[in-house]
Amino acid sequence: MEDPQLMMNWNYMQKKDVIEILEEYKHHMDWKDGEQILDIGCGIGDITTSVLYPILPMNSVLAAADVSPDMIQFCNKYKMRERIRYYILDIQQPQLSTDWESETFDKIFSFSCLHWIHDYSQAMANIHYLLKHTGEILLLFLTPDNPIYLAFHHLLMIPKWKRFLKNVTWFYQTDDALTFVENILRRVGFQGIRCFPKIKRSDYHSWESFMELVRAINPYTRHLPDEIQAEFLYEASEVLKQTLHIMVDQDTGAVMMEYNVIIAMAFK
Ligand SMILES: C[S@@+](CC[C@H](N)C(=O)[O-])C[C@H]1O[C@@H](n2cnc3c(N)ncnc32)[C@H](O)[C@@H]1O
């Protein structure tokens, strides 16, 4: 998702998840004054500012990073807190630039970002590199059995769409997300690894508002010629209507989607 405006529509669903998860797990972390904290994949910075910032210990500094220059430009434009700094960073890049020193951060968070990563090992190795000794991570990301991802994946099997989209990747690939992530965290050197799957639900007042979300998050449409983008989304909508984990209330038209997330915690 590269458009800050579109992300504002999708954001409220993520915010609910992150608030719940921080409420549940922040007490399992060791907090002290004057910490350096990093939020990876901050997007429009809403969760950084309104969820992470309020729980910062005294004299702490929050760095928020995103691969998208548009997101970081948006964050800087609407910046409201002096103790937050925004940076452009691709967390899966093989060589971090010299601006990013090892063992800088006491805590690293990442919410609804790491499912976009293709090189998970590199991303986790970079996170490990940036973390101080005994520093902690709390990561939240979706699994590849997400109904929206699967619907698009279904369309990509159709030659008509495949010829435009065969090189566009989205979501890490595994049938067992929990073991996949645990193994990578262990391999790059994390300790005290705890990964939990959770089933989440999100609600939309109509099919149209649900499809607005789909339009906002899907990375495929912009790779198609303009004149066939609407047809692609129409076909995605038809596939989504058949999906077991998306339910429509026949009386009100409200839509409920069920999806899985993983919460990963560990220390260095
Ligand atoms: C769905 S948004 C989540 C934003 C915010 N964390 C939240 O929970 O609302 C995902 C963000 O991850 C960013 N992202 C994707 N790949 C990334 C990467 N390799 N490195 C850093 N950020 C990345 C995207 O640009 C996008 O802004």
Whole-number Å distance, alpha carbon 122 to ligand 1 midpoint, is 16
Q: Is the pLDDT of residue 9 over 60?
A: no
CB of 135 within 8 A of CB of 220? no
Whole-number Å distance, alpha carbon 42 to ligand 1 midpoint, is 6
Other CB atoms within 10 A of residue 168 CB? 13
Q: Quick one: what percent of the chain has pLDDT higher than 70?
A: 95
Task: Pick the residue whose CA is nearest to atom 20 on ligand 1.
Answer: 90
Q: Quick one: what percent of the chain has pLDDT higher than 90?
A: 73
Render pLDDT for 204-246 as a digit per residue (tens, 0 to 9): 999 999 998 888 888 888 889 999 999 999 999 999 999 989 9
Is residue 38 lining ligand 1, measured as CB closer than 6 Å? no
Whole-number Å distance, alpha carbon 251 to ligand 1 midpoint, is 36
Render pLDDT for 165-183 as a digit per residue (tens, 0 to 9): 888 878 888 889 999 999 9
Is residue 124 lining ligand 1, measured as CB closer than 6 Å? no
Q: Which residues of 176-215 are buried (b: 16+ CB within 10 A; e: fewer)?
A: ebeebbbebbeebebeebebeeeebebebeebeebbebbb
Tokens at residue 73, please?
């430009």
Task: Pick the residue whose CA is nearest to atom 16 on ligand 1.
Answer: 116
Is residue 90 lining ligand 1, measured as CB closer than 6 Å? yes
HSE of 36 in the Cβ direction (CA atoms, 13 Å)? 12
pTM attached to this predicted model: 0.90
Band (pLDDT 50/70/90 cuts) for residue 30 is very high
The predicted structure's pLDDT at residue 173 = 83
Render pLDDT for 91-115 as a digit per residue (tens, 0 to 9): 999 989 888 999 999 999 999 999 8
Is residue 11 lining ligand 1, measured as CB closer than 6 Å? yes
The predicted structure's pLDDT at residue 1 = 54
